[in-house]
Structure 1
Amino acid sequence: MKILIIGGNGTIGNKVASHFDKEHEVLIAGRSSGNVTVDIANSTSIKKMFEKTGKVDAVICIAGEAKWANFSDLSEEDYYIGLKSKLMGQVNLVRIGQHYVNPKGSITLTSGILADDPVVKTTSAAMVNGGIHSFVQAAALEIENGVRVNVVSSGMVEDAYEKYKDYFPGHNPIPMNKVVKGYVRSVKGMGNGEVIRIYG
């Protein structure tokens, strides 16, 4: 398979890319590095990325940002960061990318546990993650050519524990191999419209 991984140089993306690279052709897309560059907050940039990669069998997105701050401090503009990047960025990846995915291929998005179990300072991120879940479930009903679309939603991963542990008191960090298996399930399984939760 030819697999495009957006965010393939990141904390999670690096492990996912390393796994698939053993048996498949993997292309890495990043904002400033990789086989191709892309800014997912810009639909023109997404189109240019796919024009360079050509047809692929699977797209995995492990990218997108959202503002973390106290609810009382979040401005309207702060919410737009997550809406434009992590939410609409991934929506546009599906909207545009469906035409570059081979029949019976797959598109896998990424959300996170905040959609179901938010913590303080994550109002914007939780909202965006929940929106991704709803989008995937609805888009799967209409996407054509047998293309499947799923989302992997993980808890705080082990490799990011030290950075985020103060935000997630009492949460169990998720082993990276379990997270990778979520993406494998989406790409190699037959599920469509699934929210693949890896929370424990």
Structure 2
Amino acid sequence: MTPELNEKGIESKLKGQINLVLLGLNNVNDNGSFTLTTGIMMDDPIPQGASAAMANGGVKSFVKASSIEMPRGIRINSVSPNAVEESWERLEPFFLGFEPVPAHRVALAFKKSVCGAQTGQNYEVY
């Protein structure tokens, strides 16, 4: 890990998603929702994944805390997928011992987040 790589994770994964919500609040419909993406590394670390784990954990914390401040009935959740089967050939060397999940199961978690009634949740797909 280097400060430069850590900053990249903060700027893209963490601040990118948070800023999406902050900028989108005036554009999302009443009772609409935001769904952000975290990942398995915040709960099940891998070598060379500390920055990604930090950014994922930050997104999860933002979702939980901001859910009580959302105006106009807006909901916010996150989806935390394991590595997906469709990317497994490229990711397997980094996720040794993990069992990938099919993308359609990850899609169901996003559907639950968007169409459901809960807010402040992190839907794990392992």
TM-score range, shorter chain: over 0.9
The answer to whether the aligner puts 1:94 opposite 2:21 as a matched pair is: yes
- The equivalent residue for 1:78 is 5
For 1:152, what is the secondary structure of its paired residue? strand
Rounded to whole Å, the distance in 1 between the matches of 2:73 and 2:26 is: 12
Runs of 5+ consecutive residues of structure 1 not aligned to the other structure: 1-73
Alignment of 1:1-200 (within 5 A): 74-199=1-126
| Residue-pair matches, total | 126
Letter in 2 for 1:163: R
TM superposition shift of 1:170: 1.4
Task: Render the CA deviation track for 1:4-59: whole Å, top value 9, x for unaligned.
Answer: xxxxxxxxxxxxxxxxxxxxxxxxxxxxxxxxxxxxxxxxxxxxxxxxxxxxxxxx
Task: Render the CA deviation track for 1:113-140: whole Å, top value 9, x for unaligned.
Answer: 0010011010100110011100000000
TM superposition shift of 1:175: 1.1
TM superposition shift of 1:174: 0.4
Name the % identity.
42
What TM-score, normalized to structure 2? 0.98
Structure with greater proportional helix content: 2
> Where does structure 1 differ by over 2 angstroms across 4 or more consecutive aligned residues?
none
Letter in 1 for 2:8: I
